[in-house]
Structure 1
Amino acid sequence: MTGDWNGAWTAALDALEADVDRVEALIADDHRVRDLPPADPWSPPEGLGPLPLDLRPRADAILSRQIAATQALAIALVANRRQAEAASRIEAGDAPRRPAYLDCAV
């Protein structure tokens, strides 16, 4: 029973550690992409030739969606940073409380 219990906890901690590894990788990639934008933007595959005119409306719609998604992502990032900043100002229960005001009348 001890071996199974130890093995079960080892597996649980492995899974937990893998989750943290993924989050840390996302954070590292976020900083990397923000500091060094991807150098390989999309381009059509070789040999396709010009875009057929009947596909132009679809290509324009995709471009509009890309622009809208980029704007929504930028807004979400700003909101996330503001929320993180506000959350960082919330006092934890363990820290000594600071006075909200000082009564000088005494």
Structure 2
Amino acid sequence: MSRGRVDETGREVFDEFIPLAGANLWEHVRQVREVSEARQAQAMYMPSVGMFPTTMALACLRVAPLQMMALGHPATTHGHAMDYVVVEEDYVGDEACFSEKLL
């Protein structure tokens, strides 16, 4: 799935690129959880939660002690598993609109 969505330039930004394997949403979520557990991930960062079903499901699950997202779709998750939203200060508006703490 992710192999076709991330070009070579995007992959070069990271030390390692792990494409999602499997035929459906739940296989992707399971893979992320398993890799996170195996590597004892300490943080999960999602540039945007609502762009793909996989990220929407992962935003509802705890796969790392610290979980953060940037704004995109949706503006807030209202979920128990997302700790912070990373956002520019002048873009925030009313902090009461967010269920997450703002960074």
TM bucket normalised to smaller? under 0.3
Larger Rg: 1
* TM-score (normalised: structure 1): 0.24
Greater percentage in strand: 2
